[in-house]
Structure 1
Amino acid sequence: MNNHGMIRGIVKNPAAPADVLLRLLSEEASDVWQTLAWRSLPDRVVDAIVTSPHVTLRAAFAENKDASGDRRARLVNDPDPTVRAAVATGPQWFRSPVDPLPEWAQRALLRDGDAQVRSRAEESLPPSPALAELASDADPRRRRAACRAWEHLDPERRGLLLADAEPSVRAEAAKRASGHDADATERYLLLTDDVPVRRAQVLARAALHPVTARRLAETGDVHERAAVAGNPAVALDTARLLADDPEHAVRLQFAARPDLTEAQRAEIDYRVSESDRLGAVPWVLDATDAEVLRRCATSANTLLRRSAACNGQLPRDVVDLLGRDDDLPVRILLCENQPTVDGEVVLDVLRRWTSPLKGMLLDHPSFPRAGLARRFGDDPEPARRHLATHDPGAPAELLLRLSHDPDVRFRRALASHPNLPYGRVTELLGDGDAQTSIRAAANPALPPPLMHRLLDSAGIPRRAG
């Protein structure tokens, strides 16, 4: 392994102690600073990063999804606006919840002396009382940002924003109020400069005056017609105007209405194929009634079942029911959105799904790691045999045998397995395949003295003291 590969492995080693990680703060290891700043870190290393003279290190730590809001807030008063802007933006990781900054930190960023930092905070901070306080700000852009915290605004401040002198503020306020106020929806439609798709997303959940709903059904663009067709607030008689719309997207939304019977849905010309990537139906996504969700889960309408799989209030029996669904995307969405889905469903989806995103399922809380070695370690099919590499209790003798598999994927996967015999791990440190040797350096079974020697050989200086 070359020196750079050695460093790339050790920085990812979950067992690397603080004194090893601290060595990676040297400029000789700058290539792995981002990886270091984004990993789980002990307090000593966090202390060193937030006081580091290097802006890139501090800014990278602000994006650490595993760092608590309190830890990231230590950079709120950083002398460099680039770092403070990174704190305001925060970690932006796909499907990864992030601990929010404490409110005092949010307020500090919203009042920062640098305009770029304030702008990032206004755009990126979650809805909160701190953001709502901007409702009375002299700057219309900040009042508009306050509308994102609509649920934290009292009726008086909402009314002031709806009547704001600045059209863009009124439009944003009207958008936020449109779910329960048809007059607000009218104002939104008059004032908004949203693109058609975004406007349709608002209309799909908006309260609508009957005359407006009919006008949109008759003369709206395809996005508006689809939104009206599926909006439960629109009278069925009006929505029926769209049952035979020439656009399939419109008919598809009409077929997913809650006020249709299964027989009525069957009369509509729509289809959902396994390859279709469709957004969840808004009213299903928002549903909290267990019986409503059960009806969606048992519907012949595939879109309703896919949408139910995304609902965060899904009862356990419905999770189990959808886990047996014939539609693979239903089961994929179930695994992506339901932490209690049966582990065998997760395993089956992992084996059948062809997307690069399938690897995320390995981190699913229900993924049945235990026992995979016993079940698949001797399977003649390489893809199934490879599942054994994910078993934390896999016996050393099996791992040793699999690590000699001619398929390089086995060496790569097993090089970082803590149960792989130590002698084999050290062999793999010098493997001709770079990915294998990097993973070997990330093996938690490596003793810290060896980690230090590897860093010595890579030219990473030891810290004084």
Structure 2
Amino acid sequence: MNPALPGLAVNPALPSHLVDRLIDTADDEIASELALRADLNRAQVRALAARSEPAAVQLVHEGMLRTEDVDPATRPLAALALLDAGAGLPQWARVFAADPCSERRERVAACPGLPPDVVRRLAGDTEARVVAALAFEAPSLLAAELARHPHTEVRRAVAGNETAPPELLAALLTGEGPTPAKSCRVCDQEEVPFVHPTDCPRRDCGLLPGDACDGTHQSAVHDIQWQALRNPATPVRAVARFADHPSALLRELVAAREGLPQHVYARLARDPVPAVRAELAQNPSIDEVLVRSLAEDPGHDVQRSLAHHPALPLDVLARLAASARLGSPLLPRVVAATPEEVADLATAADPTLRMLVAMRRDLPDPIRDALACDRDAKVLKAIAPHPGLTETQLLAMIDLHGPRVAAKVATNPDATAIVLERLTRQPASARKVFREIARHPHVSLPALLACLSDPQARPIAAARPELPAGVLVDLLADEDWRVRDAAAANPSLPADAMVALLP
């Protein structure tokens, strides 16, 4: 097989008769690429589905394969994909619900809109994984029934079901409702007590590191609690009880939950594990007293997480900008800033604050232009991609800070061909600028050809239809498969070169 064929298979300019030739010889890899094409006709869709089952499944996901195109006996995975999309036939669901292969029963159990008799059959399946797949999105009444299932895997699935009754979720979380489970994935296969070692040598072992059971299914219970705490339908009063749980993983979930009483959050703010406090710091429900307290917390990631709090007082943000490593994200509080606050941030003495507001892409022209004249490199990097900047402004940034701002200047949607060509002449420290130049809509041919000299930009440049035909043909033999694929997928590839690639 020609190594450039995967790229050719998705080339939008590939004539229909050549698509037919590719389908006739396609293996699963090429068939999967062909399935991405939006111009396949009905005959080609059916031929491709008959050629490769992975491609048939992909065609279902693309909305191109219909129920009448699929025989579940020969293409079971495609039929299951149609059922999962809500487009399969009820009789298919009945066949798969009785399939000896538990994986297929599990797949069909996760499908929506199953007939009642299929649901009832799957709910009584002997494989816990099958019932768990059904339980994860089961309607309220069925979820309540499955919460009493003797296996913890099924209960875990119910605990993650957002349509399950809130009181049921509280009972699963606290363990004060259903009778204790009889089995878990550990005691299914090991004599208890058993703790699964982290360095288990068995290649066929399905247990996770630390899985344990002493008869109380402790690791499985932890999993159920984890799912219930993540579930937004679990009542807050039940969630709050876990603020002092021995597991830091569970306390992190409590710290992230909105709507809890402030005294619970205050207790979590004193948690010994920094990750719990960091999770709490970005919770929109904590009050200003806690916000200010956490601003003084030196724990790992606490202050950086607090910077993402949507109601952060600006004076606290200013303190964090001066003392914490915030990176350069667009922070929620900066997004929500009033016009007056934006003006204050844009003229702040601390360049980090000016950088943070420069990340916005909706700044008034006078503020944008003032920031574009800033002398600090990190401010210019933040403002450089802002739409509306002129060629003169962008060139001035390059003249002032060169490699430090080059890659960001190249992402500006209004960067002209002159700006992009200037960027290609930056020193080696700015090599990553070529990736941005290669994908820019205003790139000139000289700049595009310069991008071919950079290993990372070369595959991007090879996909540009502006490249001359001769250059594209040469790129088909490139040692980098990404470049070959991009050149073969390029709609400017000559027709005779396309034919030459075919088997």
Same fold by TM (over 0.5)? Answer: yes
Which of 221, 228, 231 does residue 273 from structure 2 map onto?
Answer: 221
Q: Who is 1:117 aligned against?
A: 107
The offset of 1:432, in angstroms, is 7.7
Given that 1:13 and 1:444 are in contact with CA atoms closer than 8 Å, whether structure 2 keeps it comes out as yes
> Could you say which residue in structure 1 is the equivalent of 2:52?
54
Distance 1:318 1:14, change over 3 A: farther
Higher relative contact order by CA 8 Å / sep ≥ 6: 1 or 2?
1
Quote the Cα distance in structure 1 between the aligned partners of 2:57 and 2:344. Answer: 45
Q: Which residue of 2 aligns with 1:452?
A: 499
Which residue among 250, 255, 259 is the counterpart of 2:302? 250
The aligned residue for residue 32 of structure 1 is 30
Q: Distance in 2 between matches of 1:431 and 1:230?
A: 48
**Structure 1 residue 372 corresponds to structure 2 residue 424:** no
How far the C-alpha of 1:410 sits from its partner, in A, is 8.4
CA distance in 2, matches of 1:352, 1:257: 29
Rounded to whole Å, the distance in 2 between the matches of 1:225 and 1:404 is: 46
Gaps of 5+ in 2: 98-103, 113-134, 148-152, 179-220
Residue 203 of structure 1 corresponds to which residue in structure 2? Answer: 255
The one-letter code sitting in structure 2 at the alignment partner of 1:271 is: S
**Contact 2:434–2:457 (8 Å) recurs in 1:** no
Candidates 126, 132, 146, aligned match of 1:139: 146
Deviates more, 1:288-297 or 1:260-269: 288-297
Rg larger in 1 or in 2? 2
Structure-2 change in CA distance of 1:302 and 1:4 (3 Å): same
Deviation at 1:235, TM superposition (A): 3.8
Alpha-carbon spacing, 1:387–1:83, altered in 2? closer, same or farther (3 Å): same
TM-score between the two structures when normalised by the length of structure 1: 0.58
Counterpart residue type for residue 58 of structure 1: A
Hey, what's the Cα distance between the residues in 2 that align with 1:343 and 1:440? 33
Aligned to 1:186: 240
| Paired position in structure 2 for 1:16 | 14
> Which segment drifts farther, 212-221 or 380-389?
380-389
Give the superposed CA RMSD: 6.1
The amino acid that maps onto 2:323 is R
**Cα distance in 1, alignment partners of residues 480 and 321 from structure 2:** 54
Give the aligned residue type for 1:25.
Answer: I
Q: Match of 2:203? A: none
Higher share in helix = 1
Q: Give the Å deviation of 1:116.
A: 3.0
Q: CA deviation at 1:33?
A: 3.2
- Give TM-score, length-normalised by structure 2: 0.55
Q: CA 1:330 to 1:220, structure 2 compared with 1: closer, same or farther past 3 Å?
A: farther
Cα distance, 1:453–1:29 mapped onto 2, change above 3 Å: farther
**Deviations, residues 312-339 of structure 1 (Å, cap 9, x unaligned):** xx8833898699696859978997xxxx
Residues 462 and 486 in structure 2, CA contact (< 8 A), matched pair in contact too: yes
Supply the distance in 1 between the matched residues of 2:40 and 2:273 (Cα, whole angstroms): 55
The 5-angstrom pairing of residues 277-296 of structure 1 reads none
Distance (Å, rounded) in 1 between the aligned partners of 2:47 and 2:378: 44
TM-aligned CA deviation for residue 186 of structure 1 = 1.6
Correspondence list, 1:58-457, <5 A = 58-61=56-59, 67=62, 70-71=63-64, 78-79=72-73, 80=75, 82-83=77-78, 101=85, 113=97, 114-118=104-108, 134-137=139-142, 138-140=145-147, 150=162, 157-159=165-167, 161-163=169-171, 165=177, 172=227, 175-177=230-232, 182-187=236-241, 189=243, 196=248, 199-200=251-252, 202-238=254-290, 241-254=293-306, 261-264=313-316, 271-273=323-325, 316-317=362-363, 367-368=413-414, 371-372=416-417, 375-376=420-421, 380-381=425-426, 390=439, 398=446, 402=449, 416-426=463-473, 429=476, 438-448=485-495, 450-455=497-502
Output the amino acid matched with 2:421: F
* In structure 1, C-alpha distance between the alignment counterparts of 2:467 and 2:29, rounded to whole Å: 29
C-alpha distance 264-87 of structure 1, shift in aligned 2 (>3 A): same
Is the 8 Å Cα contact of residues 312 and 333 (structure 2) preserved in structure 1? no
Gaps of at least 5 residues in structure 1 are: 90-100, 123-129, 460-465
Q: State the shift of 1:109 in Å.
A: 11
Provide closer, same or farther for how the CA distance between residues 209 and 301 of structure 1 changes in structure 2, counting only shifts above 3 A: farther
Give, in angstroms, the shift of residue 435 of structure 1: 6.1
Distance 1:76 1:183 in 2: 50
Change (3 A) 1:209 1:315: same
Identical aligned pairs, as a percentage? 20
- 2: CA distance, partners of 1:61 / 1:327: 48
* CA–CA separation in structure 2 for the residues paired with 1:228 and 1:214: 10
Residues 206 and 377 of structure 1, relative CA distance in 2, 3 Å threshold: closer
Partner SS, residue 3 of structure 2: helix
CA distance 1:405–1:250, shift in 2 (3 Å): closer
Structure-2 separation of matches of 1:36 and 1:172: 39
- Structure 2: distance between partners of 1:261 and 1:304: 16
